[in-house]
């Protein structure tokens, strides 16, 4: 096997056919690692001076059998500067793309990490986040002493697998609480709401949900004193990325509850890929707080998915929030691989400073 590093945008775009072929062969892949998602992200961020492509292609007899979608990002903290090698894009699940039909996935991943190791002069920190615990990438990292010690638990991702239930009634009996039913009936009675499903950016849905999300964050800051809250839609580049991604995209599905006048009460916007519906962002109008509209939209979404069978799994997104576990008792773990290039003087020095600052913070707590 041989590896090649893709560093230019034109070379990256030429990978489209090979990438899409591989992603269909790789059962580990989520929507966050598809070419469609990666391209939309890079289209927006490609001119950033602090980011450069480091996409590793692994070849076997002139055929691409693996793609490692990485970038190198320049980072700063106070007086420190360093280069971090991480995944291209941002999502709840990230990873590499592999040909899973030759039963040599770990060999392909090994070649990628040999390439990373051979190019240590380009990076000071290796920080790969949101690695699925059941992926071949995780299996490889757990087998290697140098990576195993630096592979840490990051967070849970609650998931509901629909096939474990015969039907909606069986699921409803186990997970749908009386309070969810009560609030659903109350909201319906008082506002005669409608439950709608939007694909892509139909009806300028991105603009509508972004405005509601910003309104929610302002409420949390003003009323609950959550000064840390900030809407992700305020970032113009990230909004530009979403605008590209949502455009004419059947893989993007937004669930909405609106009152009888069409006013948006709550939404949950998702990505559908390979039978998994990934929820990645939700917000509600604070004026409806007392109606527990989160319970209502989850009720409507689960019912809709059971009835229309649009997915096999609903992924609630990263985060150990109690409200998610009201609807499922299953979850997936994700890992983070974080290590410094201690072969270089700079990497050793920054690692010591990071460890020192962490100890100081722990003492303050």
pLDDT tens digits for range 178-190: 999 999 999 999 9
The answer on pLDDT for 128 being more than 80 is yes
Same fold, 2-149+333-364 and 159-328: yes
Question: 159-328 sits in which CATH class?
Answer: alpha beta
Classify 338 as helix, strand or coil.
strand
Instruction: Give the DSSP per-residue string, 129-191.
Output: EEEETTSHHHHHHHHSHHHHTTEEEEEEEEEEEGGGSSSHHHHHHHH--HHHHHHHHHHHHHH
What residues does 233 pair with on adjacent strands?
Answer: none
Mean pLDDT of 51-67: 96
The answer on pLDDT for 252 being more than 60 is yes
Which pLDDT value is given to residue 65?
Answer: 97
Number of Cα atoms under 13 Å in the Cβ half of residue 176: 19
Mean pLDDT of 143-169: 96
Q: In terms of CATH architecture, what is 2-149+333-364?
A: 3-Layer(aba) Sandwich (3.40)
| Alpha helices per DSSP H over 224-331 | 236-246, 293-308
Instruction: Give the DSSP per-residue string, 293-322.
Output: HHHHHHHHHHHHHHHH---SEEE--S---T
| Alpha helices per DSSP H over the chain | 9-13, 16-25, 35-45, 105-118, 136-143, 145-148, 168-175, 178-191, 205-223, 236-246, 293-308, 345-364
pLDDT tens digits for range 331-347: 999 999 999 998 888 87
Which pLDDT value is given to residue 76?
Answer: 87
Q: What percent of the chain has pLDDT over 70?
A: 95
The answer on pLDDT for 161 being more than 50 is yes
Which pLDDT value is given to residue 363?
Answer: 57
Plot region of 147 (φ>0 → left; ψ -120 to 50 → alpha; else → beta) = alpha
* pTM score, whole prediction: 0.93
CA distance 230 to 212: 13
Which pLDDT value is given to residue 224?
Answer: 65
Mean pLDDT of 238-254: 96
The answer on pLDDT for 229 being more than 80 is no
What residue ranges do the domains of the chain occupy?
Answer: 2-149+333-364, 159-328
What is the band of 365 on the pLDDT scale with cuts at 50, 70, 90? very low
Instruction: Give the lowest-confidence range in 69-83, 264-278, 351-365.
Output: 351-365
DSSP 285: -
């Amino acid at each position: 096997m041989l590896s090649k590093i893709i560093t230019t945008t034109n070379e990256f775009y030429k990978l489209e056919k090979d990438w899409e072929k591989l992603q269909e062969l790789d059962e580990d892949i989520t929507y966050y690692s598809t070419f469609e998602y990666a391209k939309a992200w890079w289209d927006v961020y490609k001119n950033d001076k602090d980011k450069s492509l480091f996409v590793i292609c692994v070849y076997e007899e002139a055929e691409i059998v693996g793609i490692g979608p990485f970038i190198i990002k320049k980072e700063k903290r106070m007086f420190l500067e360093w280069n971090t090698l991480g995944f291209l894009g941002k999502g709840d699940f990230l990873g590499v793309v592999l040909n899973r039909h030759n039963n040599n996935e770990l060999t392909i991943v090994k070649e990628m990490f040999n390439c990373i190791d051979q190019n240590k002069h380009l990076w000071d920190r290796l920080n790969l986040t949101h690695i699925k615990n059941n992926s071949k990438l995780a299996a490889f990292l757990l087998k290697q002493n140098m990576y195993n010690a630096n592979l840490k638990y990051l967070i849970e991702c609650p998931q509901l697998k629909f096939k474990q239930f015969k039907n909606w009634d069986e699921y409803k009996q186990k997970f749908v609480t009386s309070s969810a039913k009560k609030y659903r009936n109350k909201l319906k009675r008082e506002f005669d709401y409608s439950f709608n499903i939007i694909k892509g950016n139909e009806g300028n849905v991105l603009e509508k949900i972004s405005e509601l999300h910003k309104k929610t964050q302002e409420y949390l800051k003003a009323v609950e004193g959550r000064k840390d809250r900030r809407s992700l839609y305020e970032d113009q580049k990230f909004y530009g990325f979403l605008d590209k991604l949502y455009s004419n995209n059947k893989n993007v599905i937004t669930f909405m509850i609106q009152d009888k006048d069409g006013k948006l009460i709550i939404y949950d916007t998702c990505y559908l890929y390979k039978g998994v519906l990934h929820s990645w962002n939700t917000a509600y109008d604070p004026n409806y707080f007392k109606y527990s509209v989160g319970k209502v939209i989850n009720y409507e979404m689960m019912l809709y998915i059971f009835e229309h069978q649009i997915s096999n799994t609903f992924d609630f997104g990263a985060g150990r929030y109690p409200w998610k576990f009201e609807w499922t008792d299953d979850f997936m773990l994700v890992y983070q691989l974080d290590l410094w290039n201690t072969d270089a003087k700079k990497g050793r020095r920054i690692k010591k400073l990071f460890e020192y600052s962490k100890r100081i913070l722990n003492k303050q707590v």
